[in-house]
């Protein structure tokens, strides 16, 4: 079973959420999951674009109001 990590980014605005997500992904092994949450919707969109551009997989992505949730699979 693959390990799942959680990264809570409440109160942070770009570029910090993308940088912290990138750092955590670099520490992970292929096949592991990262669940990222935060409270600034634009940061969620920026993280999603970064993931799509750099080759990991978005498993789930949702924004409700300003809150976002992203589940990423490390490749």
Residues with a known catalytic role? 14
Q: Beta strand pairing status for 4-8 and 33-38?
A: parallel
Which segments of the chain are extended strands (E)? Answer: 4-8, 33-38, 57-64, 67-73
């Amino acid at each position: 079973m693959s390990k799942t990590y959680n990264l809570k980014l409440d109160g942070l605005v770009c570029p910090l959420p993308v940088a912290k997500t990138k750092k955590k992904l670099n520490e992970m092994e292929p096949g592991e999951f990262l669940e990222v949450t935060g409270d600034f919707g634009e940061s969620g969109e920026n993280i999603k674009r970064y993931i799509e551009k750099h080759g990991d997989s978005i498993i789930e992505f949702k924004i409700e109001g300003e809150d976002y949730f992203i589940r990423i699979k490390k490749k």
